[in-house]
Protein backbone atom coordinates (compact mmCIF):
# COMPACT_ATOMS: atom_id res chain seq x y z
CA UNK A 1 0.00 0.00 0.00
CA UNK A 2 1.52 3.28 -1.12
CA UNK A 3 1.16 6.15 1.36
CA UNK A 4 2.01 9.60 -0.02
CA UNK A 5 3.95 11.86 2.32
CA UNK A 6 3.81 15.58 1.55
CA UNK A 7 6.77 17.92 1.99
CA UNK A 8 4.95 19.53 4.94
CA UNK A 9 4.41 16.11 6.56
CA UNK A 10 8.08 15.28 6.00
CA UNK A 11 9.14 18.54 7.65
CA UNK A 12 6.98 17.62 10.64
CA UNK A 13 8.55 14.16 10.82
CA UNK A 14 12.04 15.70 10.75
CA UNK A 15 11.12 18.24 13.45
CA UNK A 16 9.77 15.50 15.69
CA UNK A 17 12.91 13.42 15.08
CA UNK A 18 15.08 16.42 16.01
CA UNK A 19 13.04 17.00 19.17
CA UNK A 20 13.61 13.42 20.24
CA UNK A 21 17.16 13.01 19.02
CA UNK A 22 18.98 16.25 19.87
CA UNK A 23 18.53 16.17 23.67
CA UNK A 24 19.77 12.58 23.72
CA UNK A 25 22.77 13.38 21.55
CA UNK A 26 23.67 16.33 23.79
CA UNK A 27 23.79 13.91 26.73
CA UNK A 28 25.70 11.24 24.80
CA UNK A 29 22.68 8.91 24.72
CA UNK A 30 22.33 8.51 20.95
CA UNK A 31 22.50 5.16 19.24
CA UNK A 32 25.28 4.35 16.78
CA UNK A 33 23.30 1.51 15.24
CA UNK A 34 24.26 0.52 11.71
CA UNK A 35 27.18 2.88 11.34
CA UNK A 36 25.49 6.25 11.76
CA UNK A 37 24.84 8.54 14.70
CA UNK A 38 21.16 7.72 14.78
CA UNK A 39 19.42 10.82 13.43
CA UNK A 40 18.67 9.34 10.00
CA UNK A 41 17.46 6.14 11.66
CA UNK A 42 15.13 8.24 13.83
CA UNK A 43 13.72 10.04 10.78
CA UNK A 44 13.22 6.77 8.92
CA UNK A 45 11.57 5.12 11.91
CA UNK A 46 9.18 8.04 12.34
CA UNK A 47 8.44 8.06 8.62
CA UNK A 48 7.42 4.40 8.84
CA UNK A 49 5.32 4.99 11.94
CA UNK A 50 3.66 8.03 10.37
CA UNK A 51 2.82 6.12 7.17
CA UNK A 52 1.22 3.28 9.12
CA UNK A 53 -0.67 5.68 11.41
CA UNK A 54 -1.93 7.54 8.34
CA UNK A 55 -3.01 4.32 6.63
CA UNK A 56 -4.84 3.04 9.71
CA UNK A 57 -6.18 6.44 10.74
CA UNK A 58 -4.67 6.17 14.22
CA UNK A 59 -2.73 8.65 16.32
CA UNK A 60 1.03 8.96 16.06
CA UNK A 61 2.78 9.39 19.41
CA UNK A 62 4.46 12.81 19.23
CA UNK A 63 5.73 12.91 22.81
CA UNK A 64 9.29 14.06 23.46
CA UNK A 65 10.99 11.98 26.15
CA UNK A 66 14.55 11.15 27.07
CA UNK A 67 13.82 7.45 27.02
CA UNK A 68 12.86 5.48 23.99
CA UNK A 69 9.56 3.73 23.54
CA UNK A 70 8.87 0.18 24.69
CA UNK A 71 8.96 -1.01 21.05
CA UNK A 72 5.21 -0.44 20.81
CA UNK A 73 5.29 2.19 18.10
CA UNK A 74 1.54 2.46 17.57
CA UNK A 75 -1.59 1.33 19.37
CA UNK A 76 -4.87 0.11 17.91
CA UNK A 77 -8.12 1.08 19.60
CA UNK A 78 -8.50 -2.49 20.88
CA UNK A 79 -5.20 -2.20 22.78
CA UNK A 80 -3.00 -4.23 20.45
CA UNK A 81 0.42 -2.80 19.78
CA UNK A 82 2.17 -2.38 16.44
CA UNK A 83 5.92 -2.53 15.95
CA UNK A 84 6.90 -0.77 12.72
CA UNK A 85 10.16 -1.55 10.95
CA UNK A 86 11.12 0.91 8.22
CA UNK A 87 13.89 -0.51 6.05
CA UNK A 88 15.77 2.00 3.95
CA UNK A 89 15.78 -0.11 0.78
CA UNK A 90 12.96 -1.84 -1.04
CA UNK A 91 13.21 -5.61 -0.71
CA UNK A 92 14.81 -5.63 2.74
CA UNK A 93 13.55 -7.92 5.50
CA UNK A 94 11.74 -7.07 8.73
CA UNK A 95 14.64 -7.27 11.18
CA UNK A 96 14.81 -7.13 14.94
CA UNK A 97 17.88 -5.67 16.67
CA UNK A 98 18.94 -9.03 18.11
CA UNK A 99 18.09 -12.73 18.09
CA UNK A 100 15.99 -12.34 21.25
CA UNK A 101 12.34 -13.14 20.42
CA UNK A 102 11.30 -10.65 23.13
CA UNK A 103 12.45 -7.89 20.75
CA UNK A 104 9.17 -8.52 18.90
CA UNK A 105 7.28 -6.85 21.71
CA UNK A 106 3.84 -6.37 20.15
CA UNK A 107 1.03 -8.40 18.69
CA UNK A 108 1.60 -7.04 15.16
CA UNK A 109 4.65 -6.14 13.10
CA UNK A 110 4.49 -3.92 10.01
CA UNK A 111 7.20 -3.69 7.35
CA UNK A 112 7.64 -0.38 5.51
CA UNK A 113 9.93 0.48 2.59
CA UNK A 114 10.76 3.80 0.95
CA UNK A 115 8.80 4.89 -2.10
CA UNK A 116 9.06 7.98 -4.28
CA UNK A 117 7.13 10.74 -2.54
CA UNK A 118 6.07 8.55 0.35
CA UNK A 119 6.32 5.10 1.83
CA UNK A 120 5.23 1.60 0.88
CA UNK A 121 3.59 -0.47 3.58
CA UNK A 122 4.62 -3.97 2.58
CA UNK A 123 2.33 -5.71 5.01
CA UNK A 124 1.81 -6.98 8.51
CA UNK A 125 2.68 -10.12 10.44
CA UNK A 126 1.52 -11.48 13.77
CA UNK A 127 4.06 -12.12 16.49
CA UNK A 128 3.14 -15.81 16.37
CA UNK A 129 3.76 -16.09 12.62
CA UNK A 130 6.98 -14.08 12.87
CA UNK A 131 8.36 -16.47 15.47
CA UNK A 132 7.42 -19.43 13.24
CA UNK A 133 9.12 -18.11 10.09
CA UNK A 134 11.97 -15.98 11.45
CA UNK A 135 15.55 -16.90 10.70
CA UNK A 136 18.83 -15.58 12.04
CA UNK A 137 20.73 -13.25 9.72
CA UNK A 138 23.72 -10.95 10.06
CA UNK A 139 23.85 -7.96 7.71
CA UNK A 140 27.16 -6.81 9.17
CA UNK A 141 25.74 -5.28 12.36
CA UNK A 142 25.28 -8.41 14.46
CA UNK A 143 22.94 -11.35 14.39
CA UNK A 144 19.22 -10.66 14.43
CA UNK A 145 15.92 -12.40 13.83
CA UNK A 146 14.42 -11.53 10.45
CA UNK A 147 11.44 -12.40 8.29
CA UNK A 148 11.27 -11.77 4.57
CA UNK A 149 8.50 -9.76 2.93
CA UNK A 150 6.97 -12.93 1.49
CA UNK A 151 5.70 -13.75 5.00
CA UNK A 152 3.71 -10.53 5.33
CA UNK A 153 0.01 -10.12 4.65
CA UNK A 154 -0.73 -7.01 2.57
CA UNK A 155 -2.25 -4.49 4.94
CA UNK A 156 -5.28 -4.01 2.67
CA UNK A 157 -6.10 -7.73 3.05
CA UNK A 158 -5.60 -7.61 6.82
CA UNK A 159 -7.83 -4.54 7.14
CA UNK A 160 -10.59 -6.19 5.12
CA UNK A 161 -10.35 -9.33 7.24
CA UNK A 162 -10.63 -7.25 10.42
CA UNK A 163 -13.70 -5.47 9.08
CA UNK A 164 -15.40 -8.84 8.43
CA UNK A 165 -14.44 -10.36 11.81
pLDDT tens-place string over residues 18-62: 887 766 666 665 555 544 557 788 889 899 999 999 999 988 877
Tell me the sheet residues that pair with 121: 112
85 touches 48 (CB < 8 A): yes
Q: What are phi and psi of 82, to 5 degrees?
A: -125, 130
Helix axes 39-56, 7-26, angle to 10 degrees: 140
Q: Which helix (H) or strand (E) holds 24?
A: helix 7-26
Summarised one tens digit per residue, pLDDT across range 112-151 is: 999 999 999 999 999 999 999 999 999 988 999 999 999 9
Amino acid sequence: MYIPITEAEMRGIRLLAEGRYNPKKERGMYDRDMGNDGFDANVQGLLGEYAVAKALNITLDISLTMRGDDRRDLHLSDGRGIQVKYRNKKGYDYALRSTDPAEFATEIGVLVWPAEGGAEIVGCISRQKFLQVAKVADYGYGKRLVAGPEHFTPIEVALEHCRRS
